[in-house]
Amino acid sequence: MTAIASSSRSRRSPSPIGKDDYELPADYKPYVPVAKRRAQLLSTLGTKHLAKRVKTSDELDQQTLEEEQDEGDAEERAREKLRRERTLLQAAQEVKERRAVEDASKTAAEREAEKEAQLLVEMERGQKKLAGAKELAEGTTWTESLKSSWRPPRFIRDMSDEEHQRVRDQFHILTEGDDLPPPINNFADMKIPRPILDYLKKKGIKKPTPIQMQGIPTAFAGRDIIGIAFTGSGKTLAFTLPAIMLALESEARLPLVRGEGPVGLIICPSRELARQTYEGCQAMCTALKESGEYPEIRSLLCIGGINMADQGDVLNKGVHIAVATPGRLMDMLDKGRLNAMNCKYLCMDEADRMIDMGFEEDVRSIMSHFKFQRQTLLFSATMPRRIQDFASQSLVNPVLVNVGRAGAANMDVIQEVEYVKQEAKMVYLLECLQKTPPPVIIFSDNKNEVDDIQEYLLLKGVEAVAIHGSKTQEEREYAIRSFKTGAKDVMVASGVASKGLDFNEIQHVIVYSMPKEIEDYVHEIGRTGRSGKTGIATTFINMNTSEQTLLDLKYLLMEAKQKIPEFLLSIDDPRAANGAGLRGCPICGGLGHGLSDCPKLEEANRRTQAAQARYAGDGY
């Protein structure tokens, strides 16, 4: 049958050349039948995979083996990736199991500390330094404090660091920072002008308080400061006096003219506190001027609700020191009626309240008016760790001066906490007012309640005035003035009047409704027991007070060695077993809760959610 075979072969057009001597094209590939190709593919890629990809013979015919091979490589890479992912997952699982074992061995306090550290890192990640937009944009940072011509007297300079530290230890002054200026325990050795020393003496201010002993020399030396001290311990003088000395030095070097200034800027969270601080500055500047030995130093009160034209003469001659609230100050700077070109000194009083009262953006826009380096000072009686950390990032080589734990209550205040049912409060308030002679302040963080209390007291024949955020500027000023002069015996106030306001001889503070945030409580009771005098604070609590707040209050009383009422003792702190309660929340300084349960954080989250809801609702 060869013939047929051969004949069949011969029937095809005879190849002119035999196979052996024909030159095959370079890219010639022998035809591989479909079945054989499928078998080859099976062997390279594996059945499972092929089952997924099996194509009809027509499709296969259209594809060259190379394509199949390339896809095969891609599939191989995918399988390799799958293998790597599986390995990573396995490793992650092992780490998780190992962590779980470690966690089990950690104490509750360690776990809490880790959680807080994690939360703090997240919170601070988005926080920018307290600096102007330009500084932030250019990444401007200063590494050296401003130079100052002031030096301590020789005999103090000759003392050793150990001797200086002994003075600090004697007055319980805690400090942190490099190259600390020495504490000075009398005003004359601080080289303060005689007219001011005489003025202070007339006011009964003879010896510096601990915060002044370290704060004033440090500020005179040009250093940035974070100053923390109990309410009523003289922080105001620690930052107003250096502002005046800087203004004197500046005026002696180059007198200010119209449109220039301020040289020194003090920002306060409330109009009343700004006015009070301004009046203190004004009094010392007047003492200097009346002596005839010093140039005129002009101070300006820059707050909402007053007519700035009344201070036109100060603005026309140039402003040395401005005491301001953020809103009106921004307005004056934006309109060019004040400028920060010469400003070398910026102080924020009640700084933590400024940062967390939502003024942070205002403060940042104020700072964007600063063109050159300035000395920055932050003061408060409550400066939680988070604010301290945040502040120290924003200051240049700052000195931390701490007299007492940030957020601790003034030890000169006797705190009496009483359980009073809501419906019995008004009647019991009248009894409480008999405890001491006037003047007495009553605090409630609810404006309507403030009005109700005032109305009730007036009905009972008690001379009471009221102040809260919804009162007009005139009503607020009338209330403060008539209470300060003694024309009125009782002032009923909301939180706005708790920070920094200084009323002489307050005998008794009544906290009618316990504020949610323990810091506010510390500021409220701090209106009494000031400048070394003793005062009484009576606080009404009941089932309406949150357990969290009660725990904060309990620890604060323990820390201040006060009597703790039975019902507070009966409240257990789930974390007390490991002593975590006494570490202090980094957000608000409260001793009875951790970061994750902070009422301030809850409030901030509530505000954020409300803003987001408004944002979403407005269909932006």
Ligand X SMILES: Nc1ncnc2c1ncn2[C@@H]1O[C@H](COP(=O)(O)OP(=O)(O)OP(=O)(O)O)[C@@H](O)[C@H]1O
Residue 205 binds to ligand X (criterion: CB under 6 A): yes
Closest separation in Å from C-beta 310 to ligand X? 25
By C-beta, is 233 or 444 nearer to ligand X? 233
For the record, the structure tokens of 231 come out as: 């309410």
Under the binding rule (CB under 6 A), the answer on residue 407 touching ligand X is: no
Q: Which is nearer to ligand X, 87 or 504 (CB)?
A: 504
Name the minimum Å distance from CB 270 to ligand X.
11
Binding mask 338-377 for ligand X (x = CB under 6 A): ----------------------------------------
- Nearer to ligand X among residue 131 and residue 192 (C-beta): 192
Count other Cβ atoms within 10 Å, centred on residue 70.
11
Q: Please state the closest distance from residue 404 (CB atom) to ligand X, in A.
A: 11
Residue closer to ligand X (CB basis): 175 or 542: 175
Report the length, in residues, of the chain.
620
Judged by CB under 6 A, the chain residues 219 through 258 that form the site for ligand X are 229, 231-237
DSSP per-residue letters across 312-326: HHHHHH--SEEEE-H
- Residue 19 tokens read as 């196979």
Query: Closest distance between ligand X and the C-beta of residue 526, in Å?
Result: 5
How many Å apart are CA 284 and CA 263, to the nearest integer?
A: 16
Q: What mask, x for binding ligand X by CB under 6 A, covers residues 442 to 481?
A: ----------------------------------------
Do the beta carbons of residue 302 and residue 325 sit within 8 Å?
Answer: yes
Reading the block at residue 374, the tokens are 């300035």
Measured CA distances, 171 to 174, 175, 237 (Å): 9, 12, 18
* Closest distance to ligand X from the beta carbon of 522 (Å): 9
Which of 329, 381, 479, 518 lies at the binding interface for ligand X (CB under 6 A)? 381
At residue 233's C-alpha, the angle toward residues 346 and 568, to 5°, is: 115
282 binds ligand X (CB under 6 A): no
Give the span between the Cα atoms of 393 and 410, in whole angstroms: 28
Which residue number, 217 or 234, has a Cβ lying nearer to ligand X? 234
Label the pairing between strands 413-419 and 399-403: unpaired
Of 121, 123, 113, give the one whose Cα is nearest residue 594.
Answer: 113
Q: Does 277 help bind ligand X (rule: CB under 6 A)? A: no
Q: Min. distance of Cβ 122 from ligand X in angstroms? A: 31
Please report, to the nearest 10 degrees, the dihedral formed by the alpha carbons of residues 196, 199, 204, 207 taken in order.
Answer: 10
Q: Sort strands 299-302 and 464-467 into parallel, antiparallel or unpaired.
A: unpaired
What are the phi and psi torsion angles at 334 (to 5°)?
-60, -35
Distance between CA 612 and CA 618 in Å, rounded? 10
Q: How many binding residues for ligand X (CB under 6 A)?
A: 21
Chain positions 511 to 550 lying near ligand X, rule: CB under 6 A, are 526, 530-531
Q: Which stretch binds ligand X (CB under 6 A): 163-171, 204-212, 335-343, 460-468?
A: 204-212
H-assigned helices in 12-160: 34-45, 47-53, 57-62, 65-105, 108-125, 133-138, 154-157
Measure CA of the first residue to CA of the last residue in the chain; give whole Å: 90
Tokens read off for 390 = 């945040």
Binding window for ligand X (CB under 6 A); candidates: 13-21, 85-93, 203-211, 578-586: 203-211
Nearer to ligand X, 68 or 517 (CB): 517
Contact residues for ligand X (CB under 6 A)? 203-205, 207-209, 212, 229, 231-237, 381, 500, 502, 526, 530-531
